[in-house]
Amino acid sequence: MEAMNDKKEIKIFILYLMERIGYPLSLKDVSSILYQENLASYFDCGDCFTELMDANHIVDSGEKDEAGDIAYIVSPTGLKIATELNDTISPWIKEVSYRSAIRNLSFFKRGAKTECYKTALGNGKFSVHCEILERDKKIFDVTLDVDSEKEADKILFNFPRKPEIVFRGALALLSGDRNYIFE
């Protein structure tokens, strides 16, 4: 992917990305997403992030990340800019960067919780319901009918341990991007 060189474009993208992710992020989080996808250099990202803070488009959320770094959110004026200028960002860049964020920010860091339970259907069959809630918003919801309680119990055991793998797999297969599973 080609890097963005225009600071205005990088700033708009940072605001868009932070708003799309929907929860507080540290400078390190934002920089790693842009750097890993080769969208901007670490230094350009840092400069742009600082300029956005100075202009009060990004503000301290009052939270800290796992490393103890300040986590930031987009301010109302930053949101207005992100909304009005979001069309200037390539749809492909938006999608690739969002997937990178999903891949690299752990579900639990993002405030995700899982719920999973089984219901007997009769004849030895069970229905298993699994969902992922991210900051009280349902992002994954599936119900499977299985042939035995043993199979249902395996799902109940495995799903809460690696929900991001299930989510990524479903997203990849349903979107037709099988390579996404292995990235």
Q: Whole-model pTM? A: 0.61
Q: Write down the pLDDT at residue 133.
A: 86
What would you report as the CA-atom Rg of the chain, rounded to the nearest whole angstrom? 19
CA dihedral 167, 173, 179, 182 (to 10 degrees): 30
Please identify, in words, the CATH class of the domain defined by 7-104.
mainly alpha
Q: What percent of the chain has pLDDT over 90?
A: 30
pLDDT digits (tens, 9 = 90+) for 134-145: 777 888 999 999
Q: In the chain, what are the domain boundaries?
A: 7-104, 112-182
pLDDT digits 0-9 by tens, 129-174: 999 887 778 889 999 999 999 999 999 988 887 787 888 788 878 8
Residue by residue, DSSP assigns 52-105 as: HHHTTSEEEEEEE-TTS-EEEEE-HHHHHHHHHHGGGS-HHHHHHHHHHHHHHS
> Would you state the pLDDT for residue 76?
93
Q: What is the pLDDT of residue 120?
A: 96
User: With 60 as the cut, is the pLDDT of residue 183 above it?
Assistant: no
Q: What is the pLDDT of residue 40?
A: 79
Per residue in 10-26, pLDDT (tens digit) is 888 888 888 888 778 88
Instruction: Give residue-wise pLDDT tens across range 88-124.
Output: 777 777 776 776 676 666 666 666 788 999 999 999 9
**Residue 6 tokens, joined:** 């225009």
Residue pair 97/25 in contact (Cβ under 8 Å)? The answer is no
Task: Return the pLDDT at 126.
Answer: 96
More confident residue, 36 or 13: 13
Which pair of tokens denotes residue 83? 């909304």
Q: Mention the CATH class of domain 112-182.
A: alpha beta
